[in-house]
Chains A and B, each alone.
Chain A
Amino acid sequence: MSEQEIREGLRVAVWDEPPLDFDPDALIAQAEKVRTRRRALVSVGVGTALVVVSAFALPTLFSPSRPDSANVAESPTRSSAVTAPPAPNSQQVEKVAVQAVKRLHLILPSAIGVVPEYVDDGRGVPVPPMAVGRFGWFIRFEDTIGPTAIQLQIGGHMTDEKYCGGFETCRQEAESDGSKVIIAEHYEGAEMIESMVTHVRTNGTAVTVTSFSYNPLTGSGIRKTVPIGSGGLRVLATDPQISWD
């Protein structure tokens, strides 16, 4: 088959062409509809994008905690005072633990078998410390209900939100020496199932004592409420007889 035959064949191939019923005005009307719909879609898309961007940007812009230039300028001094506390070493922790064990008898006279249960940063920790660099351990004891434990942590102060996150109630109270106490409580119905008291000391360290409605060392021994309430925990966390530093 030559190229000429192909050319002729293609010409003859359209001989049975059906009549063309083409209306340019109808096509233009349809095209205008498409254009309008496309513009509307773009408007909706842009509007949605603006709403999403605003939703994320506005709270940041108008947040009272947004750092302005003055705060930024003075922030290095403040952070050095707060975030660089003297880190306790293991000997200090042991010393504090022994003192805390003694003081627990004053808070909970019925407690027997009070012993410290040491843990450190994340290795074999039943309940991990709240942040890296914070030393944590437990004080194991047995009260009238059964064996349980409370958790103690010492380290640099974190943001207040870290102490309050996930708790139903959280309040701060100032101490006479300029330090502050953060008391957070977690409830299940009317019963308190976790109580955490943090003493943020003037030198930037924070002592956190937590009591649970179960034995945090075993995960069992569930009881109705915590063995030591926030009052007792506060006494322990702010106890001047304990060498927290």
Chain B
Amino acid sequence: MRKADEQGFREFAASHAASLRRTAYLFCGDWHTAEDLMQASLMKMYLAWKRAKDLDNVTAYARKVLLRTWLDEKRRPWRRAEQHDGELPDTADATADPDLTSSRLWARELVHAALLQVPPRQRAVLVLRYFEDLSVAEVSVAMGCTEGTVKSQTARGLVALRAAVEKLDSSTAGRVAS
């Protein structure tokens, strides 16, 4: 690869690594896996940089590569998600603002417990639409499907997410009551 192209990729990777990792985290719910996905996606981008650098929207292409990498990874039979069991000990952080921490913890629970219960492709649509703020057309490009499919996947994803949140709320309330 020419030096100029390599420098161009270096700048692209440095400026997009963090946002790609965040999106990957919302896809998979685990920072370590998210970092692996980000690295794998950027490596694919580098190998295809000769063609990718001339695209109108390189960021959208990178997002598409990330999504494909995650979906491919999920399909691999030897890939096993970490099984969480047992209860983590509750330890108080004296320096933390209780109200703020509470809301943040709730948000994290939302991702870990509710969003992760949504089927993968619906989850991807929700993340791209509500976290990346992409339009239906942009999501359809990233997903490689029609806009109608994006709309239907969004609607189904929202139903699934709301159901998961309600389930989470009721179980949390149940635990508090007991």
Contacts and interface: CB of A to CB of B under 8 A. Distances in A.
21 contacts: A1-B165, A3-B130, A6-B158, A7-B133, A9-B107, A10-B26, A10-B127, A13-B26, A14-B26, A16-B108, A17-B31, A20-B18, A22-B17, A22-B18, A24-B14, A25-B10, A27-B42, A27-B43, A27-B46, A28-B6, A30-B43
B43 A17 contact: no
A28 B104 CA distance: 36
Chain B interface mostly helix, strand, loop or mixed?
helix
A31 B107 contact: no
Contacts of A6: 126, 130, 158, 161
Given A14-B22, A17-B22, A24 B10 contact: yes
B43 A12 contact: no
Interface in B10-28: 10, 13-14, 17-18, 21-22, 25-26
Chain A interface mostly helix, strand, loop or mixed?
helix
Nearest to B130: A7
B121 to A, nearest CB: 17
A14 B29 CA distance: 10
A78 interface: no
A199 to B, nearest CB: 66
Q: What bracket does the count of chain B residues touching chain A fall in?
A: 35 or more
B103 interface: yes
Contacts of B26: 10, 13-14
Given A7-B130, A28-B10, 17 more contacts: A1-B162, A6-B130, A6-B158, A10-B111, A10-B130, A13-B108, A13-B111, A14-B22, A14-B26, A15-B104, A15-B107, A17-B21, A18-B31, A22-B17, A25-B10, A27-B13, A34-B43
B126 A31 contact: no
Interface in B121-138: 126-127, 130-131, 133
